[in-house]
Amino acid sequence: MNVRIAPLFAGLLAAALVPSAAQAASADTQPFQVTITVTESCNISTGSITDINFGTHARASSATPIDEKGSLQLKCTPGTPYSIAMDHGKHATVETASHDNRRMANSITSPTAFVPYGLYRDPGRTLLWGQKPENQLSGVGTAAAQTISIFGRTPGVDVAAGTYNDTVVATVNY
């Protein structure tokens, strides 16, 4: 009888010593962080600016204003407050409080011939657009591209014949 129990006992002992899935060693755990830093962002889309072209007009002594508009596209992160400033251009007179001192120059035929013009934030052309805070356009970003209209007016064209132009720089502050 002792002979038959010994092999059975040896089998049970071997089974007890082999680890099973239920008896596996516990795993080591370590927490880790997941982070992101989000910054506010605004940009004027490259190539999305529509120039203001007052067209071709016959010289006239009347002071009939000529109105045109252009636009730019602005894209800001959602909820980002922004303001858009316009500089005075290359041919402006000394800065005035009204910022209505821009001029287009006829640099080919007469570097001293100018056509005055103004840039405005509204279609009624009552809110001048400039660099001072009170002359900037303010808004809040939406994450979508926003089309911003730029309204221009020149008081008339009683100047020497030729092509007149100016370059204005738009700046978004956020």
What is the residue-wise DSSP string for 58-85? Answer: ---SS---EEEEEEEEEEE-TT-EEEEE
Whole-number pLDDT of residue 160: 85
3-state secondary structure 79-117: CCEEEEEECCCCCCCCCCCCCCCEEEEECCCEEEEEEEE
Closest-CA residue to 54 (of 136, 124, 119): 119
Whole-number pLDDT of residue 1: 47
Residue, of 172 and 61, whose pLDDT is higher: 172
Kindly indicate the confidence band of residue 26, based on its pLDDT and cuts at 50, 70 and 90: confident
Residue pair 170/130 in contact by the 8 Å Cβ criterion: no
* Predicted structure pTM score: 0.76
Instruction: Flag whether pLDDT at 171 surpasses 80.
Output: yes
